[in-house]
Structure 1
Amino acid sequence: MSSAQDPFYIVKEEIQDSIDKLQSTFHKWERISPDMGDQAHVAKELVATCGSIEWQVDELEKAITVAAKDPSWYGIDEAELEKRRRWTSNARTQVRNVKSGVLAGKVSSGAGHASEVRRELMRMPNSGEASRYDQYGGRDDDGFVQSESDRQMLLIKQQDEELDELSKSVQRIGGVGLTIHDELVAQERIIDELDTEMDSTKNRLEFVQKKVGMVMKKAGAKGQMMMICFLLVLSDTHKEAQENMSTEDAVCFTGEEYARHVREYWRGVAESDGFDSEDIRSPVVLTGLFHYDCQSGRRYPDPLLVKRYALLGLHRFNILQGTSFELAALQKFNKTMNLTSSYYITLLANEPGAIPLQKTFQVRVDERKYDTLDLTVAIARLKKDQNEAAETTKEPFVPHFCCSAVSDGVFQGPLPDWPSDDALRHDRNRFYELEISEWQATDWISLYLELLILATDRGMFGVAQTGLPQVQILKVVIETEEENEKPLDKRLNARRAHVYITFTGLPKSPRLVEIGEHVERKAIIRRVIDDSGYLTLLGKFWSGKDTEQRSKTRQSEEKVESSQKRSRLC
C-alpha cells in the first residue's frame, strides 16, 4: 500500500500540522508579557490543544498496535511498524514539552501574583522599600497577627454559640414533632370512637324515620300539620325553659316540692290574671306562659292574629262602655303553649277627641278550636295604675278554658245557612242590608272577616304567616232578633247578631274549593255578648254545598229513624 493511500500517513500529516501550529502559538505565548491579560487566555488554549493532539496520538498508537498483530494483512513489515512507533513517540514528546512549558510559565506567573497578594495583605514592602520594612515591619506584623488571631477566635466563639442555639432549636422542633404525633394518635382514636357512635346513631335514626313515616302516612295531611305545630311548640318550650332555668335551679325535687313550686308559680300568675307574669320564674313549670315583648324589635309568633285580637278586645270594650278607643301600639303579651292558645295582651289605645288620651288596656282572648274562628274575649279592661287596686276577675284563674258567651235561640248551636233572597227582601225585622257608606264607617266588619280568614288558614304557608290578601267587601247583612233594634246604631252594636258578608279577593283557603281572586265568597260570623261581658265570635265560609250536605245528612238520619221504628213494630 502506497503512502498516499495509507490512512496512517493521512492522519500523521494532520497531527503534524496541528503540532506545528501548537509550537508556533507556544513561541508567541512566550513573548507575551505577564502583565497583559492575553497570556492566561492563550495558555488556556494551548493546554486544550495539547490535550486534543494527545488524544489523536493515542488513537494512532492503538491503530499501530492492531496492525502489529498481523502485519501481512495490512501490507507492512516490522521496519515500517518501528518507524511509525518512533514518530508517535516523537510527536508525544513535542506535545508534552509544550504543555510542560505552558504549565511552568503559569506557575511562575501565579507565584509572582501570589507574592504580590501576600505583600499587600501583610503590608510588606516591595524591593524598593525593604529598608523601611526592616525598620518598622517587625512591630506592625506582630500587631496585625495578634489582632487577626483575636478576631478569628471571636468568630469561632460566635459560631459555637450559634451552633448551640441551632442544636436547642432542633431539640425543640423534635419535641414538638413528638407532641404532634401523640396528638394525632389520640385524635385518630377519638375519630374511630365517633365513627362507631355515628354508625349506631344512624341505625337508630333510620329506625325512627321508618316509624315516623308510617305514622305520617296514617295521620294524613291534617295530622301532619298538627304534628309539625306540636313539635314547633315543644321546641319553643324547651328554649324558653332553658332561658328561664339557671344552673343553680337544675336540681332534683320531691313530689311535694314539685307540687309546691307549681302552686306558687300559678298563684303568682293569677295575681295579675296572667298579664304581668314575665318576672315569675319556676324551676319545674315548663308549660307555663310564654312572654313576648312587642317593643323589643324581636319577632314574635302570629303577629297578624295578635294585633287583631287586641283590636277585638277594644271593640268589645267600646260596645260595652260606649267609647271609641283606637289601637296605638302593642306592648307585650303572654301566651299559653296549647295548640289552641290563650293570649294575654297589654296594649296602648287612644280615644279621639280634642285632647287625645292614651290608656293602657289588658285583653284576654281564648281560642276554642284550631283552624276555625271560634274564640272568646274574656277580659277587655283598662289597666290600673300601681297605686290603684288591680281589677281582677271573680272566677278562679284558669290559664286556658273553652268557655263561650251564653246565648239562646238562633244564636246558639251551629251557624245558620245563608238566608234566602226572599227572607232578605221581606223580613226586615231580622235582616238589614248595610249601605256601602254604613259598613265602611265601621271598622269591626272588616276585622271580623280578617279574623275568619286568618283563623282558617294558620298553616306554615298560610295567610297568617305570609300576609292578608286585599279583599273587597261587596255586601253586608246584619241579622238581629230584637224588634227594638231597628235603628242602625242599635243593630250595629247588638249583643247578639249574625253578620253575612259577600266579598272577593281571597285566592284560596283550606276551607274553600274554588280558586281565584274573582270568585265571590260568602262568610257567616256570629257575635254574642252575654251578661258577664264575654264576647264570642264564631264564623265560617259558606257555599251551597253546605246546604246540600246538611240535607243529605238529615235525610240519612230520617231513614235511620224510620228503619228503627219499623224494627220496633215488627
Structure 2
Amino acid sequence: MGRKKKTQPAVLVGKKEIEERLLRMMFGYTDKLNKSQGFDIRGYEGISPILVAHICDRDGPCCDLVLLYARMGLHRYNLVQGKHLQLSSVKMYNRSVSRSYFITLEAKDPASDPVTLQTFQAKVNEVNTKDRSTDGPATDGPATLKTTNGFLLTCTVARRLGDTSISIPAIDLQRNHCNGKHLSYFMPELPPKNPFEDDSKRFHVLKESELQDNDDWVRLYVELAVAKPYTREEQGLDNLKILKVAMDSERYLSEGLGANDATFYIRYEDSCEARVGKDVDRVAVVRRMLDEHSQVLRLVGRHQSITPSSNAMEAGSSSAQD
C-alpha cells in the first residue's frame, strides 16, 4: 500500500482579502478597457463587466441589428475615405448598458483581385427616441419631452484594426446631440409633395444606374428604418423591395449622392404582414449628417405607410405594430 497523501489544510480567505482581490481584478479590467477603447475585451469572472462581450461564430451567430451597425460603420469609412468596402462578417462586439456597440468586423473590397479580408473596428451608439431635452440653450423652464417613432444613431469610430491615429473623438461624450440640439430634433418628415413625382424639380429621383451603384447604403438606410432598434423583435429584412429613391435637387447638384447633410426618401414594398399588416406600400425617410471635422456620422430616420394622392403624399401609420 502506498502512503496516504497528506491533505492540505483549507486556506481561509477573509473578507478583506476577497475585496482586495476583486479590486485588483477591477483595476486590471479597467486598464484593459482604457487601452482597448472598448474593442475586443472580455469580462472577468467574479466582477460585473462594464461591457458585455458577444463572440460571433457558428454556435452564436451575430444578430441582424449588429450586422446593420457594422455596415453603418463601413458606410462612414467609405464616405470619408472614398472607398467601396463591403461587410464580410462580424467577429465579435461589446455592448454597454447605454447601448453603445464596439464592433470588430471583417470587410472586403469586391473590386480587388484577389479579394482579401481586412479587419475593422466601428463604434455605433443608439440614441433613445424618448429623451428629455431642450431644443435650445438651457432655461429655467421644464425640458421638452420629445418622442419619435424611428431611429437615432451615431457612428463615432470606423477604422482599420491597429490604426491608432484615429481615436474616439471627444464629441462622443455628446453623441445624443448635434449643434446643441438633441438628435430627435433633426428627425425628417415626409414632404407634402410627392418627391417621386414632383414637377417643380425640387427633388432628384435616382436613375436606375445610380440606384444600382449605391444599392448597399440605400438598402442599409431602409433596413435601419425597419429594424426597430429599441425592441428585441427580429423579423426578416429580405422581403424589402426598393422601388424609388429621391433627394433634394439642390443638394444633389452641389454635392451629389455623397452629400454630408442630405435627406433621402426611399419608397419600398414590405411583404412582411406581421410587421406592416396590409400597408405594404411604404417610404423610409432618412437624414444623413456627416461632420467633416470630427467625421462623426449621424443617421436619423423612420418608416411609414403612404397613400399616393395625385401629386401629394399622405402619410399613414409608422408600422402595424405601433
TM-score normalised by L of structure 2: 0.71
Structure 1 residue 405, shift from structure 2 partner:
4.9
C-alpha displacement of 1:328:
2.1
Whole-Å Cα distance in 2 between the matches of residues 395 and 275 of structure 1?
17
Higher alpha-carbon Rg:
1
The residue aligned with 2:247 is 478
Q: Give the structure with the larger helix fraction.
A: 1
Letter in 1 for 2:247: I
Aligned counterpart, 2:35: 271
* Aligned amino acid, residue 107 of structure 2: A
Counterpart check, 1:392 vs 2:167: yes
Q: 1:478 to 1:397 in 2, by over 3 A?
A: closer
Match of 2:104 among 331, 335, 346: 346
2:50 matched residue in structure 1: 288
* Structure 2 residue identity aligned to 1:380: A
Q: Does 1:307 align with 2:67?
A: yes
Please point out which of 467, 475, 482 is paired with 2:236. 467
| Deviation (angstroms), 1:282 | 6.7
Q: 1:523 aligns with which of 284, 291, 300?
A: 284
1:318 aligns with 78
Aligned residue identity for 1:437: S
Consecutive unaligned residues of structure 1, counting only runs of 5 or more, are: 1-247, 550-570
- 2:126 is aligned to 367
Deviation at 1:269, TM superposition (A): 0.8
Q: What SS does the corresponding residue of 2:70 show, helix, strand or coil?
A: helix
Contact 1:521/1:541 (CA < 8 Å) preserved in 2?
yes
The answer to whether residue 219 in structure 2 is matched with residue 446 in structure 1 is yes
Q: In the alignment, which residue of structure 2 is the partner of 1:494?
A: 259
Are the equivalent residues in 1 in contact too, given 2:127–2:153 (CA < 8 A)? Answer: yes
Q: Taking structure 1 as the reference length, what is the TM-score of the superposition?
A: 0.42
Report percent identity of matched pairs: 26
For residues 274 and 248 of structure 2, the distance between their equivalents in structure 1, rounded to whole angstroms, comes to 26
Q: Secondary structure at the residue paired with 2:242? A: strand
Aligned equivalents of 1:253 and 1:374: distance in 2? 46
The offset of 1:344, in angstroms, is 0.9
User: The residue matched to 2:239 in structure 1 has which SS?
Assistant: coil
What CA distance in whole angstroms lies between the structure 2 residues aligned with 1:255 and 1:334? 26
1:423/1:504 CA distance change after superposition, 3 Å: closer
Match of 1:291, as an amino acid? A
Q: What's the CA shift string for 1:247-267, capped at 9, x where partnerless?
A: x99966899987776555333
Q: Retained in 1: the 8 A contact 2:205–2:246?
A: yes
Structure 2 unpaired stretches of 5+: 1-11, 130-148, 308-312, 317-322
2:158 is aligned to: 380
Q: What amino acid maps onto 2:105 in structure 1?
A: L
How many angstroms apart in 2 are the aligned matches of 1:479 and 1:250?
Answer: 69
Tell me how far 1:446 sits from its aligned partner. 0.9
Residue 3 of structure 2: aligned partner: none
Asked whether the 8 Å contact 1:329–1:348 carries over to 2, the reply is yes
Which residues of 2 match residues 168-183 of structure 1 at below 5 A?
Answer: none
Structure 2 residue matching 1:455: 3-state secondary structure: coil
C-alpha change, 1:496 and 1:394, in structure 2 (3 Å) is: closer
Distance in structure 1 (CA, Å) of the matches to 2:171 and 2:32:
13
Pick closer, same or farther for the CA change 1:539–1:364 going to 2, 3 Å: same
1:330 CA displacement: 1.9
Residue 455 of structure 1, CA deviation: 2.0
What are the Cα deviations for residues 405-429 of structure 1, in whole angstroms up to 9, with x where unaligned? Answer: 5499xx953322334038962453x
Q: Distance in 1 between matches of 2:116 and 2:56?
A: 21
Correspondent of 2:188 among 393, 411, 415: 415
More strand by share: 2
Q: What is the rounded CA distance, in whole Å, between the counterparts of 2:87 and 2:241 in structure 1?
A: 23
Separation in 2 of the partners of 1:322 and 1:375? 21
CA deviation vs aligned residue, 1:379-401 (integer Å, no higher than 9, x gap): 101111xxx75642243987xx7
| Deviation of the 1:314 alpha carbon | 0.8
- Note closer, same or farther for the CA distance 1:406–1:253 as it changes in structure 2 (3 Å cut): farther
Q: Secondary structure at the match of 1:345?
A: strand
Give the AA of the match of 1:288: I
Q: Are residue 536 (structure 1) and residue 311 (structure 2) matched? A: no
Matched length: 276
Instruction: Give the direction of change, closer, same or farther, for the CA distance of 1:326–1:548 in structure 2 (3 Å limit).
Output: closer
Please state how far the C-alpha of 1:537 moved relative to its aligned partner: 1.1
What residue identity is the alignment partner of 1:538? V
Change in CA separation of 1:261 and 1:424 when aligned onto 2, cut-off 3 Å? farther
Distance in structure 2 (CA, Å) of the matches to 1:449 and 1:422: 17
Residue identity in the other structure for 2:79:
I
- Decide whether aligned partners of structure 1 residues 281 and 526 sit closer, same or farther in structure 2, where only a CA change above 3 A counts: same
What does 1:6-405 correspond to in 2, within 5 Å?
262=26, 264-278=28-42, 281=44, 283-284=46-47, 286-295=48-57, 297-300=58-61, 303-338=63-98, 341-351=99-109, 352-369=111-128, 372-384=150-162, 389=164, 391-395=166-170, 402-405=175-178
CA-based RMSD: 3.8
8 Å contact 1:376–1:537 — kept in the other structure?
yes
Q: 1: CA distance between counterparts of 2:274 and 2:229? A: 7
Amino acid at match of 2:226: I
Shift of 1:345: 1.0
What one-letter code is carried by the residue in structure 1 that aligns with 2:228?
A: A
Q: Is structure 2 residue 263 aligned with structure 1 residue 504?
A: no
Question: 2:132 aligns to what?
Answer: none
Give the distance between the partners of 1:249 and 1:444, measured in 2 at CA.
57
Distance in 2, Cα, partners of 1:328 & 1:315: 13
